[in-house]
Amino acid sequence: MATTTTPGGQIGRSIPRLEGWDKVTGRAEYVHNIRLPGMLYGRIFRSTLAHGRIKSIDAGAAREMPGVHRILTGDDVKRIIPHPYYGPAFHDQPVLALDKVRYIGEPVAVVLARDPHVAEEAA
């Protein structure tokens, strides 16, 4: 009877986790908790319609909120990236909706703010 093994013979053995002790003692650092100088938080405004044309996006009130750094729409992205599309097989999905929305939850705009709560409220 043949036996199979992996390099290092680890099948059937517990492997000690390198970060295990830090996690169980509460000392582990997570990306979610990192704060850097000048860091901004982003929130995505998503479509509430399954299908519709985008005639205009009025972000004036959100832009005026204290702590909001910038609001980006598909048109803003298009100025930087001439063909702002992606997709797993075909690059046919816009990074942010352009001219129309195709499904509920499609990203329409991104809010960048100094505080996550402000970003959420502005979105």
Domains located in the chain, CATH noted: 38-122 (3.90.1170.50)
Looking at per-residue confidence, does 110 or 14 come out higher? 110
Map tokens 């803003």 to a residue.
76
Mean pLDDT of the chain: 90
| Whether pLDDT at 51 is above 70 | yes
Q: Does this model's pTM top 0.75?
A: no
| Whether pLDDT at 6 is above 70 | no
**Average of pLDDT values for 19-38?**
89
**Average of pLDDT values for 52-69?**
95
**Average of pLDDT values for 29-53?**
93
**Average of pLDDT values for 58-65?**
94
- Position 61 scores a pLDDT of 94
- Position 2 scores a pLDDT of 52
Q: Is the Cα dihedral 85, 87, 92, 97 positive or negative?
A: negative
- Position 11 scores a pLDDT of 79
